[in-house]
């Protein structure tokens, strides 16, 4: 049986939630493999809207196993709150339907505090983090001082590791002129949350290996986007984890061969939240229209997203770096009614034309887009469920994007509704 890995091919917010939910009907297990509760996915199913941050998008489907892998940093309080919120919406979640990697690193309350303190100290040079502690939690993980989910079950281990962790963070807080952490209050909070989250803890790598051997279909769900990857994105304006598809193996405890078909999600235009370079950004009425039509506000933060024309150079780079075999093109309907559309086909930088995003910050800041202009369409594409329902100019736009990014459109989404999807190639068929 084929597995599928879904990743964003832009700067996140590409509409992965709906696509993963749609694909999860064909899957047995849905796995989150990186990021934290800074990721936001909105699912629209009938009259019900589900907003997810940490839980896999497949959690709303009955009979599916949801997994949070070891590559995710887990805020146990956010996790329990999200579970309770979904239960109130009628979604059944239990240790039988949700497994969390026992070796996942935890986000603790002071991680968010230090995240926000450092961001404020940067002033105009801020990165644009969500302030939820994801970056500091990953820092502790790499520095080998993190508290992991399994540590909550071992009081003696937790005592020792807390001392080491607070030794570092209290020194950092003193340097920023902030009070030290109340150790007793922190330990009490951890003791209280432990029985709520430990029932979900499991060696998920073992469960996933058993599922693979049994021929089960596994869907790996990425968060953010490839151009926010800590190695391959627009550093330092990136997230704190590897968002490229290859990390699905590391972040879940499976071998590279398990990744399967890699599907990249991309909007028919481009958006970005927070700071960082954005060559095709539109600070005019067109950019405002894209934002209003696309309801471009962050699921997690509520921040308005920056909007611009489709950047084929960036998406092509994401496809190459991520091993993406096909794309799911979303929000095509947002472009309805424009007389003309523009697509970025190259960059001008330092007096030359380049076909990739430069790595250096100064070079990134110099980049200006080279545009190709195409005719728009006046008919509506919203809710289309077949190619025959699409205006001819919309089809031309899609075909030109395929040429420029050197990858085919496997799925086409024409509204937030689950069933408003045109299937060109079933990723699970490979």
> Using alpha carbons only, what angle is made at residue 78 by residues 73 and 82, rounded to the nearest 5 degrees?
115
For residue 411, the SS3 value is strand
The kind and range of the H/E element at 16 are helix 16-24
Dump the DSSP string for 45-62. ETTEEEEESSS-GGGGST
Lowest average pLDDT, out of 297-306, 325-334, 389-398, goes to 297-306
pLDDT in tens, 92-124: 999 999 999 999 999 999 998 887 877 776 666
Read off the pLDDT of residues 261-302 as tens digits, 9 standing for 90 and up. 999 999 999 999 888 999 999 999 999 999 999 989 865 667
Residues forming a β-bridge with 375: 340
Global pTM reads 0.92
Q: Could you check whether the bond before residue 29 is cis, i.e. omega within 30 degrees of 0?
A: no
The mean pLDDT value for 356-362 works out to 93
Residue 125's pLDDT is: 61
Joined together, the tokens standing for residue 337 give 């009614």
pLDDT (0 to 100) of residue 419: 84
Residues forming the active site: 13, 41
DSSP 8-state symbol, 105:
B
pLDDT of residue 301: 62
Phi/psi at 205 (nearest 5 deg)? -60, -35
For residue 129, what are its two tokens?
A: 């983090």
Q: Give the residue-averaged pLDDT of 366-377.
A: 96
Structure confidence at residue 44 (pLDDT) = 73
């Amino acid at each position: 049986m084929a597995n599928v890995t879904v990743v964003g091919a832009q700067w996140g917010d590409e509409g992965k939630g709906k696509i993963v939910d749609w694909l999860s009907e064909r899957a047995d297990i849905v796995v989150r493999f990186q990021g934290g509760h800074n990721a936001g996915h909105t699912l629209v199913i009938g009259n019900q809207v589900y907003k997810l941050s940490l839980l896999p998008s497949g959690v709303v489907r009955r009979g599916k196993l949801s997994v949070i892998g070891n590559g995710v940093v887990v805020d146990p309080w956010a996790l329990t709150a999200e579970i309770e919120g979904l239960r109130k919406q009628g979604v059944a979640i239990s240790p039988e339907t949700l497994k969390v990697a026992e070796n996942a690193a935890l986000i603790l309350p002071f991680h968010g505090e230090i995240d926000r303190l450092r961001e404020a100290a940067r002033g105009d040079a801020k990165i644009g983090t969500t302030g939820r502690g994801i970056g500091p939690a990953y820092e502790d993980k790499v520095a080998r001082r993190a508290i992991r989910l399994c540590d909550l079950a071992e009081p003696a281990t937790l005592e020792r590791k807390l001392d080491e962790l607070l030794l570092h963070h209290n020194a950092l807080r003193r340097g920023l002129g902030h009070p030290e952490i109340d150790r007793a209050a922190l330990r009490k909070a951890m003791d209280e949350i432990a029985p709520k989250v430990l029932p979900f803890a499991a060696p998920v790598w073992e469960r996933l290996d058993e599922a693979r051997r049994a021929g089960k279909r596994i869907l790996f769900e990425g968060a953010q986007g490839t151009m926010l990857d800590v190695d391959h994105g627009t550093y330092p304006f990136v997230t704190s984890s590897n968002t490229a598809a290859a990390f699905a193996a590391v972040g879940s405890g499976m071998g590279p061969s398990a990744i399967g078909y890699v599907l990249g999600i991309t909007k028919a235009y481009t958006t970005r939240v927070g700071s960082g370079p954005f060559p095709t950004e539109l600070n005019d009425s067109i950019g405002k229209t894209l934002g209003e039509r696309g309801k471009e506000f962050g699921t997690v933060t509520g921040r308005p997203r920056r909007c611009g024309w489709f950047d084929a150079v960036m998406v092509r780079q994401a496809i190459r770096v991520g091993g993406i075999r096909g794309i799911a093109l979303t929000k095509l309907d947002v472009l309805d009614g424009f007389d003309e559309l523009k697509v970025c086909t190259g960059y001008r930088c330092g007096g030359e034309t380049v076909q990739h995003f430069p790595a250096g910050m100064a070079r990134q800041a110099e980049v200006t887009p080279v545009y190709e202009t195409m005719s728009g369409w006046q008919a509506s594409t919203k809710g289309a469920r077949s190619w025959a329902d699409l205006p001819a100019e919309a089809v031309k736009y899609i075909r030109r994007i395929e040429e420029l990014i050197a990858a085919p459109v496997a799925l086409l989404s024409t509204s937030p509704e689950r069933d408003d999807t045109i299937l060109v190639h079933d990723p699970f068929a490979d």
